[in-house]
Structure 1
Amino acid sequence: METYWNHNTAFHNELVESVKMRGGRVLDIGCGDGLLLQRIAPFAQRVVGIDPDSEAIKRAQTRLAGVSNVSPVSDDFLAMPVPSQEDRYSTIICVATLHHMELRSALSNMDHFLAPGGRLLVVGLAADKSMMDKVISGLLVLPIRLMDLLHGGMQDPAVRIAEPKESLSEIRQAASEVLPGAKVRRRFYFRYVMIWDKPRVEQAIQL
């Protein structure tokens, strides 16, 4: 299967670089057709991709046929049992998927799945609710269209679409409550990036 470019894959390189730093076990929530799984696989011990769309998982399985350390699974992340300590993940990635789930429940579950010392990386979409949100998005329209042209246009596989419900300020508030210390920054391509490093056991004891 071929690679492609869109507003989500534009972040793949930095996600892969982050995985390289830790290796270990990686979980991709909302893995779609498995392009990011394919790119991560050479740098991780084990990669699990989950997506509730069974057709997307079939495409991921086709893309990753013969890649022994990757498992694409059709499942609902919020319904999955919390793994044992030894099976938790060094890195959890969630690209354009968080807005499909109940925000606080999803963040809490990500905490439970992440190993101490691990990193959560979310590339997400936020709703434009404030005047500032709308002004910033409006100013980005033309430069983003120009970048789309430079990359040969948007190429999106068949994926489920949902409009984001929470604004960036609401996402920041939820993150601060559920994942203290999480950093949420507005980024290009109408996206934000959330980064949270889970405290190690020793640090957690001291808090």
Structure 2
Amino acid sequence: MPLSRLDRFNRRHPWSHNDHYGRWAAGRVAASGARDVLDVGCGTGNLAARLRDRGAAVTGLEPDPATARAAQERFAADPAVTIVRAGFADRDPRRRWDAVTLVAVLHHLPLVPTLRELRGCLAPGGRLVVVGCYREAGPADLLAALPAALANPVVGLVKHPARADAPPPHMAAPTADPRETLAEIRAAAARELPGARIRRRLFWRYTLVYDAPR
């Protein structure tokens, strides 16, 4: 299938690569015992809902007005979830959290300063969970992308068999291309988050888990 046809097919059968890792992210938070969680760039609240179902109180930050409004309406009757129309820079700098999550958000922010600030957001023993995007560079990245490119239309057809004219609301928030390669992200994390565990994942993603010292 030519790339142009493949791209059109994928747009007609959209599915969220980020939500694909939602269960994993919520599981890593729950395994840490976190009860007070900050979800940075929460979107319409899919991960916040998973975290809430696992017993956490969640504060979601979302800078996009329309997306934040959708999330606020979704959780209007749930006192355990608070959605704030704000970016990471506008958070309460005095608060410390049992866990902080970012899904496809870190590449929107300056990498090294943000990693440093994220470390400072964690309570002693707190956990940072990131599902991130990286810029492809070199043969290893191209090789890793091949299985994702082959699997993507199959998963899209299964998850969204009906043709779509536009992305669903939870996929409509503004996007950006990642700037850093996975090697650059690993190097920055090694400096700012000693002991962080980073893994390359399917569908053009990586995961990072960091536990603050107790």
Normalising by structure 1, what TM-score? Answer: 0.87
Equivalent in 114, 119, 122 of residue 106 of structure 1: 114
Is this contact kept in 1: 2:65–2:85, CA < 8 A?
A: yes
- How far does residue 23 in structure 1 lie from its aligned partner after superposition? 3.4
Is this contact kept in 2: 1:23–1:43, CA < 8 A?
A: no
Please, what is the CA RMSD of the aligned residues? Answer: 1.8
Equivalent in 158, 170, 184 of residue 184 of structure 2: 170
- Secondary structure of the equivalent of 1:186? strand
Q: Match for residue 69 of structure 1?
A: 80
- How far does residue 78 in structure 1 lie from its aligned partner after superposition? 2.4
Which runs of no fewer than 5 residues in structure 2 stay unpaired?
1-13, 162-166
Stretches of 4+ aligned residues off by more than 6 angstroms: none
Q: Match for residue 4 of structure 2?
A: none
Q: Match for residue 15 of structure 1?
A: 25
- Secondary structure of the equivalent of 1:122? strand
Is this contact kept in 2: 1:184–1:194, CA < 8 A?
A: yes
Q: Match for residue 129 of structure 1?
A: 137
- How far does residue 12 in structure 1 lie from its aligned partner after superposition? 1.0
Q: Deviations over 1:121-154 (max 9, x none)?
A: 0001000012221222134311232222222268
Aligned length: 194
Counterpart code for 2:23 = N
- Give the 5 Å matches for 1:1-207: 5-21=15-31, 22-83=33-94, 87-152=95-160, 155=168, 156-200=170-214
Q: Deviations over 1:186-207 (max 9, x none)?
A: 001111001111111xxxxxxx
Q: Deviations over 1:133-191 (max 9, x none)?
A: 12221343112322222222685531111000001000000000110111111001111
Is this contact kept in 1: 2:16–2:171, CA < 8 A?
A: no
Which runs of no fewer than 5 residues in structure 1 stay unpaired?
201-207
- How far does residue 38 in structure 1 lie from its aligned partner after superposition? 1.7
- Secondary structure of the equivalent of 1:163? coil
Separation (CA, whole Å) in 2 of partners of 1:15 and 1:45: 13
Q: Deviations over 1:47-67 (max 9, x none)?
A: 100011121110001111210
Is this contact kept in 2: 1:49–1:71, CA < 8 A?
A: yes
Is this contact kept in 2: 1:93–1:122, CA < 8 A?
A: yes
Q: Which has the higher contact order (CA 8 A, sep 6+)?
A: 2
Is this contact kept in 2: 1:78–1:106, CA < 8 A?
A: no
Counterpart code for 2:91 = M
Q: Deviations over 1:66-110 (max 9, x none)?
A: 101111011121243422xxx411111100000000001111111
Name the CA shift for 1:151/1:45 in 2 (closer, same or farther; >3 Å). Answer: closer
Separation (CA, whole Å) in 2 of partners of 1:138 and 1:13: 24
